[in-house]
Every structure is written in C-alpha cells, then in structure tokens.
Structure 1
Amino acid sequence: MENGTLAYIDYVAKVKDTGEVLEATREADAKNLGVFDPTERYSPRLVAVGEGWVLKGLDEALAKASVGEKLTVEVPPEKGFGVRDPSKVKLINEKKFGEKAHDLFVGAEVEVDGKVGTVRYMGSGRVQVDFNHRLAGKTIVYELEVVRTVTEPLEMAKALLGRRLFIPEDKLNLNIEGDIATIVLPEEAFLLEGLQFVKRAVSSDLFKFLKALKAVRFIEEYKSPEAEKPKEASHPAGAEPQEAAPPTEKA
C-alpha cells in the first residue's frame, strides 16, 4: 500500500517474550485471549500508511502489504517503544513526593517534574523511578489482517471523523458539497473533553487527505425535547376516538 493510504486493519498485539496481550481489535479474539472489556468498542483500526499513526516497524510492514493479506509482524524495540535507557532510571528522595509518599508502592505510576514513570524500588527514604516506557526494550508481535482500504471521499471523511470523535457512526452527520465539508455534531459530542481541539484536528486531517476541500464547517445541533416525543393521533375537540371496525370476512 502506498504512503497516505487509509486502511482498516484487524490485529492482536502481544509482547513477544511474555505473551502479554496488549490489544485486540476483534471481540472474539479478546474473549478467547481473556482480555475482553465490555466498555471497549471492538472494530478494525483505521491507519494511514506511512503517517506514523502506528509503531514504525508496523508502518513499514503495512507499506508492503495488500488488502486481504494476513501477516505476522515482529516490531523490534528500536522500531517500537524504544530501547531501554539506564539513564532514565532515577533515585529520588521520598520527600519530593510530599504527602503522596505514603501512597507509593512498587509498580505505581508517578509523575515527577512533568515526566511519568514507574516505581521500581523503595527503601531508606528513597524511591527508584523508571522513566522508560513500560514496553521499552520489548519486541511487539502483531498478527494482523488488512481488511480494506478507503478511497471514496465521503467514506474517507467519515473514517477520519470517527477516528477523532468516539461516537457511533450512525450518529455522525457529514456531507460534502463541492469543496466544503459540513459536519453536524450531535449533542453527545458537546460534552467531549477538548472539543475545540478535536474540531481543529478533524479539519487538519480532512484537508490533508482530501486535497480538494477548501473549508470545513461544524454545526452544533440541539433538538427540542418536544421533537423527541412520539406524535399522538389527534381527534376533533370533544370527539371520542373510535375503535377500528373489524375486518370484513370473505364469503
């Protein structure tokens, strides 16, 4: 697949040396592997080949893959989450954590000076924190299938919108007329954290992959509670509703 191709892929990602399942895009796989999460929405993952949306090693493999192909990809640390760097393991005085020091334990995730790390050791008033990514130094194995590519402009736009707005597809109202894309946001979207940032990111994606677009418009739609109520049959003032006559039997 060429760079910039939008494609949907299904996969299971595992840590090679431990077998730990990191992610599964199919519900059946998640259940079989014992990692099913009922709050998770299982579906093929949208990727843009060569755009860095996935690990570098996986990106390179997708560039050589074709639709319908099933393959196993091993991503080494240098093309994945990085090689472990001993200099990122720091010994920190327990006092730096203040009152939170009482809540620390080995394996806890902590933030120090804007950096996130994992507690590896505690003792003698000091805390060893590892600021490497927890998967640094690990080879990641993907068992994947390229499900399909997305090439039609409106479908591309909907796919890109769905990547940023985690809302059911049947509630995404998007239309393209000429060089203008119009997106009607449902009320569910109004409570999304960082909605303005999401709108800017969606616009950037659309301009990048749909070169003909000149403008993106967002419409926030509020529906009247009355409009949601089912309409009742009306009757003339003072008149009683009549029962339907029984069907006439055939002779």
Structure 2
Amino acid sequence: MALQEGDFIRLRYTGRAGENIFDTTDEENAKEEGIFNPRAEYGPVTVRLGSHHIIIGLEDELMGKEVGAEGEVDVPPEKAFGEHDEEAMKSVPVTQFREKPKRGTRIEAEGREGVVVDVIGRRAVVDFNHPLAGKTLNYSYTILEKVEDPVEQIKGLIKLFSGRTDIGISIADGTAELELPPAIAYDRRWMVWRGTLVREIFEYYPDVNDVVMKETISRPAKPEAAPEVVETEEPVETEETKEAEE
C-alpha cells in the first residue's frame, strides 16, 4: 500500500552536499566521512510523513512510495535549507566576542547560530544562514517498514527529538507514561524538545489525555564495610631476641 501523510515509517538515509556526506543514519558512513559523533545513536529513524520530521524535499519523495522502496532524490534549496539570504549576513563589533574572532568561529546571538566569514578592522562579518543554505542536496534512502504500534512510534519520536533510547513508555486508560532515567534534567537537548514531544503526542493520539513523566531515583546502595584490620603490637626487642637474631 502506498504511503501517505500520517504514516509512521522507519527510514534509512544518507544526505550529501556535493561529494560530502553531511547527515546519515549509517554509523560506518559517518566514520568514513569524519563526521562520526560518539554520543549519537545511529541506525534507522522513525518519522511521521507530513510532519516535516525530515526536509520537505525528501518527505515529498517518500509520499506514495511502498515499504521496501529505495532510491535517490536531488533536493533544491527551496525544499531543503532555503536560499542564501544576504540579509542574514550581519556586521558585529569585535567587542561583543569573548575572544578575538577569526574566520570559521561559530557564535550564538539573538537565539541564532552563525559563523564568522570575515574580520574587517574592528567588526566581524557573521553569516547567520544555515551552513547548507543555497545548496542542492542529494539523498539516498531506503524505506524499511511502516510502524503501527503507538509505543514504538513514540519511542521513535523521542529518539528523533532528543537522541535518547533509554526512556520507557506505556499507554493505558488515556495516559501515556514516560519512565525517565535519573538526571535527565541535565540533558539540554531533552529539555529543549520535550515540549514539542508532548504537543505531538496530543496531536497524533486523540485518545491520550494525559502525558505523565516519571523520574524514579533509587536510594544508593550502601558501600560494603571494609574488613576490620587487627593491629598487632610490634614485639619488644630484648637482650634475648638480640642474641637469637645474632
């Protein structure tokens, strides 16, 4: 059956800009290209078609395909990361930098990330365009399966948004419960994206009325007592022991 908007699928893909791979679900490809992230979870991703979980050009390509389909598609800038916008090039005083800026320095300002492309006198030219803006991209892909189980769908969304695979999920009586690992509050990516996750759960699962996030912290195990060391007094040296040693 042809895939359509609203279907969840497991997808394997590799994105290239020219000859260079910039994104891939394949760990070996990432290592070969020198973009491997040891903290990333590689492997197929679960996405919902029509929700823009992937760039529009790739999503359009997958609509109407069958499970098992594989192929390639060239994606123009307007369906990828947009055209390069000259107005996104800003001149910033070097005094706003903690350290002396140089070409290639990445910065964050006004909620946007940019890269220094030039330094002229006391001002730095910062490009706030996406690094792939204005480029035609190529994607190779394989549609592995359609994901029907809501629990597996939500697991896929969690991995997609936060990169985590250690969150337990159960759905019962209108409640989706997420079993969170300890210290997850220190995961910045999770904290940024969890609101989006909740919104999408309510949007895609009308029978879910509550989302409960439960973090269980167990009492640390008591350290084992060290074995008692019995101190013995050193023997007192006497004339008799001296003679014996001699």
TM-score bracket for the superposition, by shorter chain length: 0.7 to 0.9
Displacement of 1:73 in angstroms is: 1.2
Aligned length: 222
Query: Is residue 2:190 matched to residue 1:155?
Result: no
Alignment partner of 1:200 out of 184, 195, 199: 195
User: Could you report, residue by residue, the CA deviation over 1:125-181 in whole angstroms, capped at 9, with x for unpaired residues?
Assistant: 34333232221110111111111121122222332333344333xx43221223222
- What SS class does the counterpart of residue 14 from structure 1 fall into? strand
What residue number does 1:11 align with? 13
What residue number does 1:103 align with? 100
Q: Assess if the C-alpha contact under 8 Å between 2:185 and 2:191 holds in 1.
A: no
Greater mean alpha carbon deviation, residues 129-138 or residues 140-149: 129-138
> Is the alpha carbon distance of 1:153 and 1:33 closer, same or farther for their aligned partners in structure 2, counting shifts above 3 Å?
same
Distance in 1, matches of 2:107 and 2:192, equals 26
What residue number does 1:242 align with? none
Return the letter of the residue paired with 1:7: I
Distance in 1, matches of 2:153 and 2:126, equals 43
Distance in 2, matches of 1:123 and 1:88, equals 18
* Percent identity for Structure 1 against Structure 2: 26
Query: Is residue 2:66 matched to residue 1:66?
Result: yes
- What SS class does the counterpart of residue 219 from structure 1 fall into? strand
Displacement of 1:188 in angstroms is: 4.5
User: Could you report, residue by residue, the CA deviation over 1:21-47 in whole angstroms, capped at 9, with x for unpaired residues?
Assistant: 101211222234443333332111222
Greater mean alpha carbon deviation, residues 136-145 or residues 103-112: 103-112
Return the letter of the residue paired with 2:70: K
What residue number does 1:83 align with? 83
Distance in 1, matches of 2:141 and 2:222, equals 45
Alignment partner of 1:213 out of 199, 208, 221: 208
Distance in 1, matches of 2:223 and 2:198, equals 31
- What SS class does the counterpart of residue 213 from structure 2 fall into? strand
Distance in 2, matches of 1:180 and 1:166, equals 23
Displacement of 1:20 in angstroms is: 1.8
Q: Assess if the C-alpha contact under 8 Å between 2:15 and 2:23 holds in 1.
A: yes
What residue number does 1:175 align with? 170
Q: Give the structure-2-normalised TM-score.
A: 0.78
Q: Give the structure-1-normalised TM-score.
A: 0.76
What residue number does 2:4 align with? 2
Return the letter of the residue paired with 1:221: T
What residue number does 2:228 align with? none
- Paired residues for 1:40-59 under 5 Å: 40-59=40-59
What is the Cα-based RMSD across aligned positions, in Å?
A: 2.7
Return the letter of the residue paired with 1:86: E
Gaps of 5+ in 1: 230-251
Q: Assess if the C-alpha contact under 8 Å between 2:94 and 2:100 holds in 1.
A: no
Displacement of 1:228 in angstroms is: 11
